[in-house]
Amino acid sequence: MSSNIDEILSNFELIEDWEERYRYVIELGKLMPKLPEEAYRDDNKVQGCASQVWLETHVEPGEGGPVLTLRGDSDAHIVRGLVALMIALYSGRKADEILQIDASAIFDELGLSEHLTPQRSNGVRAMVQRIRHDAQAALAA
């Protein structure tokens, strides 16, 4: 299942209660397919996350520039949901498009920024930095 970010945003608008939103994020993580065993490598680990987070990036040549496809996982339920959000936001996009996306503005719009602990917020920033780094590397290649 790959949720599209617009669908997630509209679902969030329908959910008033923060506890329900939290459960929805966890559900997004549960729906995300597990990574293959070989993807749980150190080079896929995201540094700067309190929980363990793995992000695997595949780069394909595309019309108008390289396209990044992401897969990920975490050992924490809520963080796995945040990984699913990142994948919905960034995966399948061209590298230059990825560099234009302001994830923090979207997290503010969803109300996540104010409800995440500082550690989780740092982890989200670390994931965004990692994805942006991979996009820059794909453009430079």
Tell me, letter by letter, the H, E, C secondary structure of 55-75: EEEEEECCCCCCEEEEEEEEC
Specify whether the CB–CB gap between 85 and 8 falls below 8 A: yes
User: Exposed, middle or buried: residue 97 (CB in 10 Å: 0-12, 13-18, 19+)?
Assistant: middle
Q: Which residues are catalytic?
A: 49
Q: HSE of 27 in the Cβ direction (CA atoms, 13 Å)? A: 10
Return the CA Rg of the chain: 14
The helix (run of H) or strand (run of E) holding residue 44 is none
